Amino acid sequence: MGARLVYVVGASGVGKDSVLAALRASLQAGERIAVAHRYITRPVAAEGENHVALSEAEFHLRREAGCFALCWESHGLHYGVGREIEHWLAQDLTVLVNGSRAYWPEARRRFGAARLVEITASAETLRARLARRGRESAPEQALRLARTQQLAREPWQVDHSIRNESTISDAAWALKAWLGGLEP
């Protein structure tokens, strides 16, 4: 498959974290795929993303010390992806990153051969998932949904799109199958 950064995007509630977790769980010995975890200024929740929770002060310290290969702010939180991904890419691994669509141009600039994968779901599915996870208030959920509609109008050059309306394992399988078809 060859070293490549695969930048996974999608609206809040589309299931990116769940799909990436299912993909990670399905990996077999010899598959040269690594799923990066993120550093976020948000506490860890039992049902949430496998991330490293940082205080804002610790996040800023790490950013200023050059610990992040990628970092951005969204919805009042800070997100970072550690420099370990550079090592993984140097070791000829395909690295998947859960990223922000707004930050994609910078990720593409930093990692020129990066591929963009978008995970999608219907507006009804997104609304239900946001309400079910309960991380944001109703007004915050409405803002996320409005941002999703705004970003949907952007002219993205998506390399692959996965509709996550059925099971998480189906979406993870579709992503893994696509990854298997990438040329070195």
pLDDT in tens, 77-133: 999 999 999 999 999 999 999 999 889 999 999 998 899 999 988 878 777 777 777
Q: Which CATH class is domain 4-36+85-180?
A: alpha beta
- Could you give phi then psi for residue 157, rounded to 5 degrees? -95, 85
> E strand or H helix at 171, and its extent?
helix 168-180
Single-letter code of the amino acid located at 114: A
- Could you give phi then psi for residue 137, rounded to 5 degrees? -70, 170
pTM (two decimals) = 0.84
Domain boundaries, the chain: 4-36+85-180
- Residue 130's pLDDT is 75
- Residue 164's pLDDT is 87
Q: Say yes or no to pLDDT of 183 above 80.
A: no
- Between 59 and 146, the more confident residue is 59
Distance CA 166, CA 104 (A): 27
- Residue 83's alpha-carbon distances to 33, 36, 72, 86, 95, in angstroms, are 16, 10, 14, 6, 12
> E strand or H helix at 15, and its extent?
none
Q: Say yes or no to pLDDT of 1 above 70.
A: no
- Between 72 and 102, the more confident residue is 72
pLDDT tens readout for residues 20-69:
999 999 999 989 999 999 999 988 775 667 788 999 999 999 999 999 99
For the chain, report the end-to-end CA distance as a whole number of angstroms: 5
SS3 track for 104-119: HHHHHHHCCCCEEEEE
Task: Map residue 126 onto helix, strand or coil.
Answer: helix
- Could you give phi then psi for residue 31, rounded to 5 degrees? -80, 125
Strand partners, 70: 81
Distance CA 50, CA 20 (A): 10
